Amino acid sequence: MKHTILVHLSALALLAALFTACGGPAGDKSAQLAALKEQRANLDAQIAQLEKEIGETSDGPRRVRTVGLTELQPQPFRHYIDLQGRVDVEDNVPVTAKMPGVLTSVLVKNGSMVKKGQLLATIDDQVMEKGLAELELQLKTAEDIYNRQKGLWDQKIGTEVQFIQARTNKEALEQRIATTREQLQQTRIYAPISGTVDMVILKTGQAISPGIPLCNIINLGQLKVVGNVPEAYAAKVRDGYSVQLYFPDLDKEVASRVTYVSKTINPTNRTFAVECALPAGRDYQANMVAVMKIIDYQNKAAIVVPVNLIQTAEDGEFILIADKTGEAQQAVVRKALIKQGNNYSGMVEIAQGLKAGDWVISTGFQDVNNGETVAF
């Protein structure tokens, strides 16, 4: 209080002297300005002295700012390439017919479990059955003629030409019957793989032909996740790299590895395809969204800090750290110039400038300066 009164009295004295020297309000304005600047300088000096005396007074504890400290320790650091992928099925086969016709029966429905070779549907085969019956009747006649000609030929009766013609007719009919039976077999649609029937498209009575799928069969025993990586990472992704797969719909994360990296850049979007294996599971569905996090850099013993602790000055980037003093719960702030390494998800690897055991000012660093004493 005493110091405050002295400051006010001094200020009043200066104002009185100024008024007298300048001859009142109408005096020289240049002289007034010079006097006011001198007054301000004197006041600033007195204020600074008072603050220093208050800070060093023995009447109470020393006033210092309180900050939070975090000790740096080596820890694993990983940098990921994030991209969106999707679940793909190794065995996802559309079932089609080998010949055109009308479906007479469809023996499966969506969700049916089938085995490879199981009958799925039939196509109308009445015309082919009648044709086969006619051919079999003709074959009997041809066989009878052939046997007669062979008997005569064995007895040296008849000509060789007649015997050859009879044999040729019989063999031709046998071949036609075999072909017709094979075509009849194509009126049966069988499962090409084992799995689950998905998306039955056609129904009994509808026409089908090669290229038009009856349904899809999916085998979820072999799954993979596929994605497209930007061209900029072409030199950073290799077979065998670790991948973290996150499924937002399932809130589930799975560890995997890159199993395939395409050697071709897509000219449209400048990306290349990658694949990674996915363990079989009942929760996965084809084309399900998956976030692929490919690890392209890792350091098992890195010095890592949050990115918001890094400040910038004329001499470069720095972090404020605290050097503990002999006094209890007190430290001196020191400015440590740093060099950044990789960064990911708000965390930065410090390549130079910090070491294990340093105490970083993690809270309150915005309000302190280099060389200042702080409490923690």
12 part of a folded domain: yes
Give me the pLDDT at residue 313, please.
87
Amino acid sitting at position 222 = Q
Residue with tokens 């079999």: 136
Amino acid sitting at position 79 = H
Structure tokens at 169: 């007719």
* Co-location of 124 and 159 in the same domain: yes
CATH number of the domain within which 367 lies:
2.40.420
**160-211 pLDDT, tens per residue?**
788 888 888 888 888 888 888 888 888 899 999 998 898 899 999 999 999 8
What is the chain's mean pLDDT, rounded? 84
CATH number of the domain within which 260 lies:
2.40.30.170
**340-371 pLDDT, tens per residue?**
999 998 999 999 999 999 999 999 888 888 88
Give me the pLDDT at residue 106, please.
92
Over 50: is that where the pLDDT of 82 sits?
yes
250 part of a folded domain: yes
74 part of a folded domain: no
Over 60: is that where the pLDDT of 57 sits?
no
* Co-location of 317 and 261 in the same domain: no
366 part of a folded domain: yes
CA atoms within 13 A on the CB side of 114: 26
* Co-location of 119 and 194 in the same domain: yes
Give me the pLDDT at residue 49, please.
67
29 part of a folded domain: yes
Nearest to 121 by CA among 212, 41, 233, 39: 212
* Co-location of 289 and 334 in the same domain: no
* Co-location of 113 and 192 in the same domain: yes
Among candidate residues 173, 208, 243, the one where a domain is terminated: 208
Give Cα 97 to chain centroid, integer Å: 39
Least confident of 20-24, 32-36, 138-142, 228-232: 20-24
Domain that residue 286 falls in: 81-89+217-298
- 276, β-bridge pairs: 225, 258
Q: 3-state DSSP call for residue 92? A: strand
Banded pLDDT at 48 (limits 50, 70, 90)? low
Over 50: is that where the pLDDT of 2 sits?
no
Domain count within the chain: 4
165 part of a folded domain: yes
Q: CA 194 to CA 217: how far, in whole Å?
A: 8
Nearest to 212 by CA among 224, 220, 221, 203: 203
256 part of a folded domain: yes
24: left (phi over 0), alpha (psi -120 to 50) or beta: left
* Co-location of 200 and 101 in the same domain: yes
Among candidate residues 276, 298, 320, the one where a domain is terminated: 298
Among candidate residues 208, 239, 266, the one where a domain is terminated: 208
261 part of a folded domain: yes
CB 221 within 8 A of CB 279: no
CB 229 within 8 A of CB 297: no
Over 80: is that where the pLDDT of 144 sits?
yes
